[in-house]
C-alpha cells in the first residue's frame, strides 16, 4: 500500500499530466495506477483550453483511425468473399462447352437488357469494353458477321481527344478505325474534367435485319418462357 507522501506525489504527477492534456490510459501506464484511483484524483479537475484541445484532437484521431481500420477490414472481407464467389463460379463453368444455341440465348439476354431496340439493325452501347467485346464476339461466332456490317460511334466528354479515343476503342474491340463514325461530344461537360480511365461510351451497330428479327423473336420466347414459369 502506498504511503501518504508517495500517494500525494503520484496524485500531483497525475494532475500535472492531465493538465498537459494526457489521456487517462497514458497516465495509468506512466504511473502504474488503476483507473478507479485516477478517476477519483481527477474528478472535477478543470483544464485549460490547450489541454482540452489536445484531448479532443487525440480522441478524434483515434476515432478516425478506428473508422479507417474498420473500413479496411470490411473491404478485405468483401474482397475475400468476391474472390471465393469468382473461384466457385469459375469452377462450376470451367470446361463447359457452349453450343451455338446457348450462345445465341446469351446474346438474346444481353441484347434484351442492354441493346438498342430498333428495326432492321441491332446495337449496343456501353463504357465497358469487355461487354462490347462479348457482343461483337457473339455476332461474329454465331452469325459470322464481318466488319463491314459493323459501325461504331463514340460519345465523349468535351475534354477528351477523339483521335486517341478512337484508337483506344479500335484496339480494345479489334475493329478497324475505318468502321468508326463521327464522335458525338456532350457539350454539357464543357469546363469539367473527365475522370482518369474513362474513355466515353461506345455504341456498336450491326446493320442486319435478319439478325434483328431473330433476336427480337428470341427475346419474346425468353420472356414468355420465364414469365410463364414464374407465374
* Residue range 102-148, pLDDT digits in tens: 999 999 999 988 899 888 899 999 999 999 999 999 999 999 999 99
End-to-end CA distance of the chain: 80
- The predicted pLDDT at position 92 comes to 86
Same domain, 17 and 128: no
Note the pLDDT tens digit of each residue in 77-98. Answer: 999 999 999 999 888 888 888 8
Q: Which residue has the cell 486517341?
A: 164
Task: With a cut of 80, say whether residue 192 has pLDDT above it.
Answer: yes
Q: Check which CATH number belongs to the domain holding 188 and give it.
A: 3.10.28.10
Average pLDDT over residues 167-173: 96
Residues 37 and 112 in one domain: no
- Range 4-24 average pLDDT: 85
The burial of 87, by beta-carbon neighbours within 10 Å (0-12 exposed, 13-18 middle, 19 or more buried), is given as exposed
d(CA 71, CA 137): 39
For residue 90, is it within any domain? no
Residues 43 and 140 in one domain: no
Query: Is the pLDDT score of 154 beyond 80?
Result: yes
Q: Is the domain of 40 the same as that of 105? A: no
Is 165 domain-assigned?
A: yes
CA distance 220 to 185: 35
Is residue 3's pLDDT more than 70?
no
Q: What does the pLDDT average to over 191-204?
A: 95
Average pLDDT on 191-202 reads: 95
Same domain flag for 205 and 106: yes
If asked whether residues 104 and 32 sit together in one domain, one would say: no
Same domain as 218, residue 118 = yes
* Percentage of the chain modeled with pLDDT above 90: 58
User: pLDDT for 198-215, tens place per residue?
Assistant: 999 999 999 999 999 999
Residues 141 and 205 both lie in one domain: yes
Dihedral over alpha carbons 104, 105, 106, 109 (to 10 degrees): 120
Domain that holds residue 25: 4-47
pLDDT of residue 122: 94
Query: Is the distance from CB of 145 to CB of 206 less than 8 angstroms?
Result: yes
- Distance CA(103)–CA(147), nearest Å, equals 20
CB 115 within 8 A of CB 205: no
Higher-scoring residue by pLDDT: 110, 44: 110
222 and 140 belong to one structural domain: yes
Minimum mean pLDDT range among 156-160, 170-174, 215-219: 215-219
Q: Classify strands 184-186 and 150-157 as parallel, antiparallel or unpaired.
A: parallel
Number of domains in the chain: 2
* Helix/strand number for the chain, H first, E second: 8, 5
* Alpha-carbon dihedral 164, 155, 125, 82, rounded to 10 degrees: 70
Q: Please, which pLDDT band fits residue 1 given cuts at 50, 70 and 90?
A: low
What is the share, in percent, of the chain residues with pLDDT greater than 70? 97
Do 117 and 219 sit in the same domain of this protein? yes
Q: Check if the beta carbon of residue 24 is closer than 8 Å to that of residue 35.
A: yes
pLDDT, mean over the chain: 90
Report if residue 38 sits inside a domain.
yes
Amino acid at each position: 500500500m502506498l504511503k501518504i507522501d508517495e500517494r500525494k506525489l503520484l496524485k500531483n504527477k497525475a494532475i500535472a499530466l492531465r493538465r498537459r492534456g494526457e489521456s487517462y490510459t497514458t497516465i495509468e501506464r506512466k504511473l502504474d495506477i488503476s483507473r478507479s484511483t485516477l478517476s477519483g484524483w481527477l474528478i472535477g479537475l478543470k483544464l485549460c483550453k490547450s489541454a482540452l484541445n489536445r484531448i479532443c484532437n487525440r480522441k478524434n484521431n483515434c476515432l478516425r483511425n478506428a473508422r479507417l481500420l474498420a473500413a479496411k477490414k470490411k473491404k478485405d472481407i468483401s474482397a475475400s468473399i468476391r474472390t471465393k464467389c469468382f473461384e466457385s463460379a469459375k469452377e462450376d463453368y470451367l470446361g463447359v462447352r457452349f453450343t451455338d444455341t446457348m450462345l445465341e440465348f446469351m446474346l438474346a439476354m444481353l441484347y434484351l437488357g442492354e441493346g438498342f431496340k430498333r428495326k432492321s439493325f441491332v446495337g449496343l452501347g456501353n463504357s465497358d469494353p469487355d461487354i462490347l467485346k462479348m457482343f461483337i464476339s457473339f455476332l461474329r461466332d454465331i452469325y459470322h458477321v464481318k466488319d463491314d456490317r459493323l459501325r461504331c460511334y463514340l460519345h465523349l466528354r468535351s475534354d477528351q481527344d477523339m483521335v486517341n479515343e478512337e484508337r483506344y476503342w479500335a484496339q480494345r474491340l479489334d475493329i478497324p478505325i475505318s468502321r468508326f463514325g463521327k464522335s458525338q461530344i456532350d457539350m454539357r461537360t464543357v469546363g469539367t474534367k473527365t475522370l482518369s480511365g474513362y474513355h466515353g461510351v461506345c455504341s456498336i451497330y450491326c446493320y442486319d435485319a435478319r439478325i434483328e428479327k431473330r433476336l427480337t423473336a428470341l427475346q419474346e420466347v425468353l420472356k414468355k418462357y420465364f414469365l410463364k414459369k414464374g407465374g
